Amino acid sequence: MNDQYAVMGDPIAHSKSPLIHQLFAKQTQQALEYRALLVPAKEFKQYLSDFFLKGGKGLNITVPLKELAWQQVDIKNPLAERAGAVNTISLQDGKLLGHNTDGIGLVRDIIQNNNGTLKGKKILVLGAGGAVRGVLEPLLLENPKSLTIANRTVEKAHKLQVLFSSQGEITACGFSDVGKEPFDLIINGTSASLHGALPPLDKGMISKQTWCYDMMYSKEKTPFNFWAETQGAEKTMDGLGMLVEQAAEAFYIWRNIRPDTSSVIQQLIQK
């Protein structure tokens, strides 16, 4: 029987992870099976132990189970520890090892797929939920000039500022206090795009050199990226590349082989 992998979440029917990992497996000639499993939060602990007891090799974890996974694994790598969430689980010497590959995926997508740079850049991150917490450390490791977290509830942004202050230059504020100075990169980590909405933003924060990244992705341009383009942003990107890159990092953790992501991103765009 081929090695068994899966993604657990609720909802899960929309997940592109099985397709992405099938494409990786084919490309790298790895014999494995990867499924999407609908797992309600209250049954997660049971599903998790059953999966590995039956010989499963590795898991991806998506909404709303990442914080639960963080609590359930035996060991967390440093990135996952500070992220407060686990999106990838591997098995090592009978122990469940928790990783967070989201931030690595975001950084790789910006730098490798879009030929961007984060070093010395002025970055604004919108939102202070789990998605943002998971990407802050990898962003700060790239040595930006500064990183500002803006959120509707300032207290949540301040908590993240305190948590990651040892990692680099980081400040926190409300949406209305961002100021009118333009940023080099604005990352939307709010779920507003899912509801066709936008965080309340000042158009002064975008210049002709600003890049904008929406961590959400959809067939059509996201409301955030549409807004950014109308404000004259130099470049807009959505989270599809991040999705593929975080999956590639998980695949590497499990199989010790790094798939080529560019061809997979192109296939997903065409689909």
Q: Coil, helix or strand for 37?
A: strand
DSSP 203: G
Q: Which two tokens stand for residue 26?
A: 């084919």
DSSP 12: -
Question: What ranges in 123-239 are assigned the alpha helix state H?
Answer: 130-140, 154-164, 223-230
Q: Which of 66, 76, 121, 122 is catalytic?
A: 66
Q: Are 98 and 86 in contact (CB under 8 A)?
A: yes
- Tell me the HSE value of 156 on the side-chain side, using a 13 A CA sphere: 16
Q: Coil, helix or strand for 95?
A: strand
Q: Coil, helix or strand for 76?
A: strand
66 catalytically annotated:
yes
Catalytic site positions: 66
